[in-house]
Amino acid sequence: MRAAYAIAADPDDPRSALRVGERPEPTPPDGWVTIEVRAASLNQHDLWSLRGVGLPADRLPMILGCDAAGVDPDGNEVVIYPVVADEADPRGLSLLSERHPGTLAERVAVPPESLVAKPAGLSFVDAACLPTAWLTAFHMLKTRGRVDEADAVLVQGAGGGVATAAVALALAMGKRVYATSRDPGKRERVAELGATAVEPGARLPERVDVVIESVGAPTFEHSMKCANPGARIVVCGATGGHLATVDLRRLFAMRLDVLGSTMGTRDDLEELLGLLVSTGVRPVVDSTYGFSAVGDAFARLESGDIFGKVVVDLLH
Ligand SMILES: NC(=O)c1ccc[n+]([C@@H]2O[C@H](COP(=O)([O-])OP(=O)(O)OC[C@H]3O[C@@H](n4cnc5c(N)ncnc54)[C@H](OP(=O)(O)O)[C@@H]3O)[C@@H](O)[C@H]2O)c1
């Protein structure tokens, strides 16, 4: 079958470690199900894997990809929840493409509990955007950020998959949303979604109750300064650098919660699908590529010049 896979680790030029070509069919463990992939989306995680982060040499070659939507052997349309429990240690979790072959392939084997029904009104391309970036944003807002108690939300770095998801979801939940981007074009796009777009570091007209942080060092001080007393600053990534400076006086005086967040639960994914159906909100798709252009999709993601998700459509 056709697949996109890592053959090596290259910290400086991750795409040089990528190959697109034939791989053996999945050999599922007992009880697992093989899914015909219809669409898969890329994440920074795939580039980190090509750099060797979380993917040691003894697991290579490894099919990449955490996210997909497809069809199960009974013909049901499904979305794949990408977090897999470790058989040896049930507390140990991995994402598809870390220990088990990933979703950037014609077929992928997953445990049956990973399957979530895809609503008929959601396309395969839209559904493939949800399992990592959108799920992460949903969990950050709902569970870690307690967005129900919030009036205003700040999203830093409004181009990436997590950030565009957080903007769209917080708006759908009826919140006032501020979003930063260094790029005037992305600020225009985020304003079209309905958020107030500002330059990084700009003073906001009000303080916010939840901050969605995936940029890290370049924006963290601003995140702290924009927070209301008792606000939640929820961190899922550090694309711009992981060593941030924290003013501890502000942390305790404002009683701020700085919270780490990773992915979400399978129930969260089901709830997220329901929210999309009930609100009509759809993932922000930056670009869609056919399988023969997977290399271009990775180049697009690595460029950093994206607004939303980069998707591979296996039907084209
Ligand atoms: N913990 C989890 O479960 C989880 C899940 C998904 C993703 N993540 C992590 O979350 C992060 C976001 O991922 P993503 O794919 O959504 O987006 P991304 O492609 O990593 O980009 C996010 C945004 O970061 C901003 N940015 C990048 N470098 C910057 C710099 N030097 N200074 C200021 N801003 C910078 C850009 O904003 P502008 O260009 O608009 O300014 C960009 O739009 C990644 O680190 C990813 O690994 C974690």
Q: Write the pLDDT tens digit of every residue in 52-74.
A: 999 999 999 999 999 999 999 99
Domain 2-129+283-313 in CATH 3.40.50.620? The answer is: no
Q: How far is Cα 149 from Cα 14, in angstroms, rounded to an integer?
A: 41
Q: Where are the domains of the chain?
A: 2-129+283-313, 132-260
Cα(238) to centroid(ligand 1), Å: 7
For position 302, what pLDDT does the model report?
96
For position 290, what pLDDT does the model report?
97
Cα(239) to centroid(ligand 1), Å: 4
Residue 214 has pLDDT above 80, yes or no: yes
Residues 6+ apart with CB under 8 A from 166: 137, 140, 141, 153, 155, 212
Q: Write the pLDDT tens digit of every residue in 96-140.
A: 999 999 999 999 999 999 999 999 999 999 999 999 999 999 999
Confirm if 167 and 177 have CB atoms less than 8 A apart: yes
In ligand 1, the atom with minimum distance to the C-alpha of 236 is 1
Count how many Cα atoms sit within 13 Å of the Cα of residue 316 in the half-sphere of its side chain: 12
Same fold, 2-129+283-313 and 132-260: yes
Say yes or no: CB of residue 128 within 6 Å of ligand 1.
Answer: no
pTM of this prediction exceeds 0.85: yes
In ligand 1, the atom with minimum distance to the C-alpha of 158 is 40
Cα(48) to centroid(ligand 1), Å: 12
**In this structure, is the dihedral angle defined by the CA atoms of residues 237, 241, 243 and 247, taken in order, positive or negative?**
negative
Share of the chain above pLDDT 90, in %: 96
Superfamily of 132-260 according to CATH: Medium-chain alcohol dehydrogenases, catalytic domain (3.90.180.10)
∠ Cα 103 80 10 (to 5°): 30
